[in-house]
Amino acid sequence: MKPLSTFLAVTCLSAAAYADAPSTSPLPSFSWSSVPNRMLDERWAPAYALLADRRHALIAGGFSYTKGVCVDSADIYDERRHKFIHAHGHLHVARDFANAVLLPNGSVLVAGGYNTEHGSLDSAELYVPKRNRFELLKSKMSNRRELFTATALVDGTVLCVAGLDLHHRGTVNTADLYDPKTATFTPLTSTLAQDRFGHDAVRLRDGRVLIAGGKSWQVGHPDQPLASAEIFDPSTRIFHRVGDMSVPRDRPTLTLLPNGKVLVAGGQNGPDGSLAIEIFDSVTETFTTLPITLHTARMAHSATLLPSGDVLVAGGWCPTAHTTTASVELLTPGAMPIALDRHAVPVPTQTFTLSNGRSLPVDIHDFATVLFPDGLLLIAGGKQVDKAEGSLDGGWMTETR
């Protein structure tokens, strides 16, 4: 196994003002291996979720280039046996760019997405692990949604936000709450300040949800990558604007860090990709740009918080190279600086280091990413652009501990 490259240590603060303890976590050196069997279908942009037993993961739907359509099949990855098990049941509606969210009762909500024949979808279904089957819900979302976000809230409900509605001829600014107790969607009266799709969302420590980036598009108008961000407060069921990111980002990733802040990475801004990395502070509701940048511009990638507290950024579409990438980068948060004189200096900012990890076996974007409790990281499906476009039916895994 090749070790990761030497860290580029970057401090955000003056050493004269702060004492910054070095990170004690060892430099990881992991390698990727292929899952020995393949999924039932190729899956570009599948829905995926870790199941309640935390030993299996659902990977459902997606688009198959070989078949030329969205598929309705599903696979279960068995973390102990390191193999895919084909689900007995099929989705009632074939879909890609849908979202999957684990519910408190152990079922998985699979909502929205795109269907080859019907376009954007407002339907949803439940995967029931005990039956290994899908059940179509009678209740539907208030809008058809693809490339939207679905976030589990503290009370067990699911927030479904914005997205592309081709029947609406553009992006929408509406949201729905799914209640697993009644199996129904309820449209929120509060709407986002900005219609958007291709954004990301993350639940904050205090239970609120941060929504950032994406782009706005209406038929007959050019699309507009977005730097704006908003927060949804479940206690009031209201959205409100927060500070903008430093650059517009279509298909970025938001990753909640152990200290409660959010790491923002990647995303496309028109023909360019953003190398800038930002941190969102939920107290001040502002973004701060770090003095380090990604080595590879990327969108439609993954960013996974590892057990070590590091964030692994992998794959994606590289806008500047006009192709997919297999590159992996590791962001390591340093210890929080300690102000030597708290009355004379501002609130300290955390330091970060950046290193290149061992590349994925394939260059892909829009793939499934699942981290298991024991540190096993699974990547499956996705789309590859090499000599020709194609979707993938394979999986790759690595130990991150």
**Please, are residues 401 and 307 in contact by the beta-carbon 8 Å criterion?**
yes
Q: Of 296, 261, 292, 287, whose CA–CA distance to 276 is shortest?
A: 292
pLDDT one-digit tens code per residue, 234-249: 999 999 999 999 999 9
Q: Residue 373, Cβ neighbours under 10 Å: how many?
A: 10
- 277 CB-near residues (< 8 Å, 6+ apart): 263, 264, 265, 289, 290, 292, 293, 294, 331, 352
Which CATH number describes the domain made up of 39-399? 2.120.10.80
pLDDT one-digit tens code per residue, 332-388: 987 544 444 334 344 445 678 888 878 999 999 999 999 999 999 999 999 999 767
Mean pLDDT score of the chain = 89
Supply the DSSP symbol for 6: P
Tokens of 150: 């679905």
- 322 CB-near residues (< 8 Å, 6+ apart): none
In angstroms, how far apart are the furthest CA atoms of the chain?
Answer: 65
pLDDT one-digit tens code per residue, 162-191: 999 999 899 999 999 999 999 999 999 999
**355 three-state secondary structure:** strand
Q: What is the pTM of this model?
A: 0.90
CA 332 from centre of chain: 19
Could you give the C-alpha distances from 54 to 102, 104, 202, in angstroms and in order? 11, 13, 20
Amino acid at 94: A
pLDDT one-digit tens code per residue, 72-117: 999 999 999 999 999 989 999 999 999 999 999 999 999 999 999 9
Residues linked to residue 120 through DSSP beta bridges, in sequence order: 114
